[in-house]
Amino acid sequence: MDRAFQRTRILTNHLLLSTPAQTACLTSNDCFNYSPPELSENYAFDVNEMRKLMDGHDVEERDRLFGLIIQSRLFNPRVRGGKVFVSPDYNQSMEQQREMTWKRIEYLLERGVFKGWMTGEGEDVEMKRFACFEVLGLFDHSISIKLGVHFFLWGGAIQFFGTKHHHDKWLRDTENYKVKGCFSMTELGHGSNVRGIETVTTYDSKTGEFVINTPCESAQKYWIGGAAKHATHTIVFSQLNINGNNEGVHALIAQIRDADGNVCPNIRIADCGHKIGLNGVDNGRIWFDNVRVPRENLLNSVADVSPDGKYLSSIKDPDQRFAAFLSPLTAGRVNIAVNAVYQSKVGLSIAIRYALTRRAFSLKPNEPEVLLLDYPSHQRRLLPLLAKIYAMSFGANYLKMLYVKRTPQSNKTIHVVSSSFKATITWSNMQILQECREACGGQGLKTENRVGHLKAEHDVQSTFEGDNNILMQQVSKALFAEYMAAQKRNKVFKGLGLEHMNKPCPVIPSQLTSTTLRCSQFQMDALCLRERELLNRFVADVSQYLAKGESKEQAFNMSYQVAEDLGKAFSDRAIFQTFVEAEATLASGSLKDVLGMVRSLYALNCLEDITYLRYGFLSVDNGVAVSREITKLCTELRPHALGLVSSFGIPDSFLSPIAFNWVDANSWSSVQH
């Protein structure tokens, strides 16, 4: 009621200011003059140190790549409001956007950006590659996807599935773009259900060749990035049929174009057409009509076929074999999750900088209008999202390190965490970009201001490399399996961060004070409580359906709501854990103090989730206390808002005109120019 009264008073004062007598007194001095937020906003902490903590690695390499992009005309520099901005020209046709994407890749190739990406070894090489993808994604999603398909999917499949002769033959040519690769897994009739794909490969022992066929229209390869225009080769996923036995999904290398760009015999390729975003990527459809490839083109680290046609594999369990064939998707999911974090950083940087200079309504007659970010409602819209993306930055850094330090024993953990984080972070990215778009008002609709268009460009992240809803179900099933295994062995929980299940169940106090709500141990306990109770509930629900005679899959399907909530609870707790660990690396001081407030805001934002009330983890009164504390934290973080977005380390050129002098950017002189 108080907020409604305040808004009514503001509107009344605004109308009173519009009386004829006062209007007549207006002079040119009453016009709005842009003032950079840096003139009035002070940094209470070292933004460079915060950036190092956030980026986590390869800061110098990132800045070098930022420089390469800014200095080239290929990246569409334009002057607005006295500043140079770079972003793709989305007014170009689909064909033009694709051509520009390829020219930019050639530019980067000539300058050695991809050196060692396929032939180098070690954690440093992989982390540097991640850093470059993050920078390129800040410029354009199309270029990062186009590169991701070539290096992470095509190249990654050869690295993971292939053996030495594949590595020797293909990796250097991939790094140098002598071959342009794509990844043919998805079909018209099968996306997430990879196991059900319909493309069929048989073996001809007389010629020592595999024969690939598209047996029906639903088996056509679909959404294959690079296939419509540029790719010369592809990894084909198909059902391998040997001597009448279906051995399951396997991967082979097939050439689809010659060196001159002509489509190879017995292959048909069509364009997927215009999309709501990512039009710089040439997605295509592929049909195979008795396409013959040499026996050596089977990627055979998991299974092989002898010259006389015998199927050979050291992995006898078909389920385990199939799981091994999905490993390249893990790298893709890591990349997608990290890329989504950086898109949210762009949106928040633009929206918060705009809110620090844009004014609306006066509280009293003859007073200046109020900055958008000085309204509690605007703080409540943006600052919890800012805290969320800080948390997800630390989560993404943890995920990258988990991936580059991978071992055969850690594959399951990487799959679960990457699936969970990919879903959570990309969903959050869509939420954040939408809120930032609305927070920028009408300016958010302009393509040049980036935020609205970023939504369309990144919408696909929720469904490619695994539909988010299905990924979350996989997470819950993995947690279910861990629970059942611990019970069966009568041993403690170990792995996936579930060790908290071995401790007594946390208890939330009946009355939550501000001190308690800001305590990191309480925050962790509250997140662990939700995960613990939902896992117990999920196991109980599935077990109940099984006892009624339902199949295991049907029991999981019937428990979908709890499964979805459990997946989110796992992700929130795991991400919060990475935040606490990052915070613990800091010495006492202003940087740690501000980060502590950000951590509390993230944790309490998680506690405001509907599941805490739905399942009774929080009382209504405690839910109100959480919401009030969030509002207080937003007020306390308001003076640090500029410092927190400046710590993202994104050059001005990668933001947009409304993040800076939006008055000059929209002046009549800019129209004439």
Q: Taking a C-beta distance cutoff of 8 angstroms, is the pair 571, 424 a contact?
A: yes
Residues in contact with 489: Cβ distance below 8 Å, sequence separation at least 6, in sequence order: none
Tell me if 238 sits within 8 A of 201, measured CB to CB.
Answer: yes
Report phi then psi at 303, rounded to 5.
Answer: -155, 155
Collect all residues with Cβ–Cβ distance below 8 Å to 244 and sequence separation of at least 6.
none
Residue 458 sits at the vertex; the CA angle it makes with 646 and 178, to the nearest 5 degrees, is: 100
Other CB atoms within 10 Å distance of the CB of residue 289:
12
In sequence order, what are the residues at sequence separation of 6 or more whose Cβ sits closer than 8 angstroms to the Cβ of residue 151? 114, 117, 118, 129, 174
DSSP secondary structure letters along 575-588: HHHHHHHHHHTSPS
Catalytic residue chosen out of the listed positions 187, 198, 435, 465 = 465
- Token pair in block for residue 646: 């400046």
Cβ-Cβ contacts under 8 Å for 99 (sequence gap 6 or more): none
Strand partners, 174: none
Structure tokens at 64: 């070098």
* Ramachandran bin of 69, using left for φ above 0, alpha for ψ from -120 to 50, beta for the remaining angles: alpha
User: Which residues make Cβ contacts (< 8 Å) with residue 668, sequence separation at least 6?
Assistant: none
Q: How far apart are CA 258 and CA 273, in angstroms?
A: 23
Please answer whether residues 194 and 326 qualify as being in contact, where contact means their C-beta atoms are separated by less than 8 angstroms: yes
Interstrand relation of 221-225 and 283-288 (parallel, antiparallel or unpaired): antiparallel
State yes or no: is 465 an active-site residue: yes
Distance from C-alpha of 396 to C-alpha of 405, rounded to nearest angstrom = 14
Q: Are 383 and 601 in contact (CB under 8 A)?
A: yes
Q: How many CB atoms lie within 10 A of CB 533?
A: 18
Distance CA 62, CA 533 (A): 42
- Taken in order 643, 598, 593, 53, the sign of the CA dihedral is negative
**Whole-number Å distance between alpha carbons of 449 and 658:** 6
> Annotated binding residue at 649?
no
The beta-strand segments (E) located in 297-406 are: 303-305, 311-313
Q: Nearest CA to 174 among 166, 184, 186? A: 166
- Sequence letter at residue 478: A
Contacts of 414 (CB under 8 A, 6+ apart): 330, 402, 403, 406
Q: Are 498 and 578 in contact (CB under 8 A)?
A: no
Q: Where are the beta strands (DSSP E) in 243-361?
A: 245-255, 267-271, 283-288, 291-294, 303-305, 311-313
Q: Round to whole Å and give the CA distance between 604 and 637.
A: 14
Residues β-bridged to residue 200: 213, 239
Residue 225 known to bind ligand: yes
Q: Is 448 exposed, middle or buried (0-12, 13-18, 19+ CB in 10 A)?
A: middle
What is the rounded radius of gyration, in angstroms, for the C-alpha atoms of the chain?
A: 27
Could you tell me which residues are annotated as the binding site for FAD? 186, 225
Catalytically active residues, by annotation: 465
Could you tell me which residues are annotated as the binding site? 186, 225
